Amino acid sequence: MSRIVISIDRITQTRYGVKNKSKNRMKKDRIIILGIETSCDETAAAVVADGRDILSSVVASQAHLHSRYGGVVPEVASRAHVEHILPVVSQAVEDARLTSDDISAVAVANQPGLSIALMVGVTAAKTLAWAWSKPLIAVNHVHAHLQPALMNCEVIDLPAVALIVSGGHTNLYEVCSSVQLQLLGTTIDDAAGEAFDKVASILNLGYPGGPAIEKIAREGNPNAISFPRSLMEKNSLDFSFSGLKTAVLYYCQGQDMKGQNRAHLMSRQEVADIAASFQAAVIDVLIEKTRRAIERVGARTVLLGGGVAANNALRTALEAFCRNRGLAFFVASKPLCTDNAAMVAALAYPKYKAGLFADLTLEPKASLD
Ligand code: KG4
Ligand code: ZN
């Protein structure tokens, strides 16, 4: 998988998964779907054949626009999506060496996410579907995060448990099929990625926080500080990370929270120890809840996806956990962990085959159905 970073109007655009396909290779026999993703701060488009062959994938990240605010500003995100949606879609079609005639359907993530961000992708997808006379397919963004892990397995040994950890969601599912997921547990407050971002902000590490925490945590001792692991009731599969985030804040401001945040006065080693200890606490909770879910459904396979799945420490820990128990483990390739449109086009494929099409009244939805 090649990864090229180019710059368009100060937006970092990442293109990956571009394969040198012969233009006419069995095009007629294939279901080729254009996917569009604008749920948060990435404008993305991708062309995927038969649900697993990524012909192109273009992601225009806005991270630098939001970094000064320490998080995503919906109005800024929406405006950037409007500016970039057409260049990104054109680039994806061009990279795939196709024309609109070759596209079987247009898919879009219409939920969940920031309404005014989703609106841009939904409007673009509806317009293209109408102008090109193609079917329109609506995709759930969180469910789509599972697709890159599924792309890595030919056959899946069911029952399976999927852990999707992103900036907005921390969800455990029982996987019944690629389009049928049964929610087992979810976060009752902050999502894991959100906790990474907030703790990075407390430690002045910048936005997005996950990669910054992971980087400095490599220099730290994960056992330096004993941060709490909120596991809730014995059988609960839900998550809560806000207490952990607050514990980091207490640690930096003093137990009465009356002191100033000392993070900017700390040595690099001290910050690294906090980051490593925080990361270890998140991973312990994710693994313990996954263990409970595995037991609940008698799972033989574990799947991992979402932005936080790019974290090496998490990938390694969950893989080792599964290996020790003889469970199959599949994780999204790193570039496909964070938001992209290949996962949207991939999930649209089984929907296309099942004839599950949307019409032009499709609306964005901020929260999950
Ligand atoms: O899936 P995603 O791109 O967007 C949402 O659907 O929310 O996930 C973004 C989240 C952010 O909170 C980001 O800090 C986190 O994923 N993230 C990471 C890493 N890379 C991204 N968290 C921990 N370690 C990483 N390497
Ligand atoms: Zn996402």
pLDDT per residue over 115-158, tens digit each?
999 999 999 999 999 999 999 999 999 999 999 999 988 889 99
Tokens 């990361």 -> residue: 279
Residue 59: predicted pLDDT: 97
Q: Is 167 in the pocket of ligand 1 (CB under 6 A)?
A: yes
**Which CATH architecture is the domain 147-336 placed in?**
2-Layer Sandwich (3.30)
- Three-state SS for 37? strand
Q: Is 102 in the pocket of ligand 1 (CB under 6 A)?
A: no
Residue 226 or residue 66, greater confidence = 226
Instruction: Tell the CATH superfamily of the 2-141+338-353 domain.
Output: ATPase, nucleotide binding domain (3.30.420.40)
Averaged pLDDT of the chain: 91
Q: How confident is the model at residue 207 (pLDDT cuts 50, 70, 90)?
A: confident
Query: Which ligand 1 atom lies nearest to the CA of residue 279?
Result: 23
Q: How far apart are CA 340 and CA 357, in angstroms?
A: 21
pTM of the model: 0.92
Q: Is the pLDDT of residue 24 over 70?
A: no
pLDDT in tens, 250-261: 999 887 667 788
How much distance in Å is there from the Cα of 26 to the middle of ligand 1? 36
Q: How confident is the model at residue 369 (pLDDT cuts 50, 70, 90)?
A: low
Residue 5: predicted pLDDT: 33
For residue 317, the Cα-to-chain-centroid distance in whole angstroms is 19
* Residue-range domain boundaries for the chain: 2-141+338-353, 147-336
Average pLDDT over residues 232-257: 91
Which pair of tokens denotes residue 79? 């405006």
Q: Is 113 in the pocket of ligand 1 (CB under 6 A)?
A: no
How much distance in Å is there from the Cα of 365 to the middle of ligand 2? 15
Which pair of tokens denotes residue 290? 């996954």
Which pair of tokens denotes residue 23? 């233009």
Ligand having the closest approach to the CA of 343: 2
Residue percentage of the chain with pLDDT more than 70:
92
Task: Judge if 2-141+338-353 and 147-336 fold alike in CATH terms.
Answer: yes
Q: How confident is the model at residue 98 (pLDDT cuts 50, 70, 90)?
A: very high
Could you tell which of 279, 308, 340 is best to mutate to test the pocket of ligand 1, judged by most ligand atoms within 8 Å of the CB? 308
Residue 26: predicted pLDDT: 56
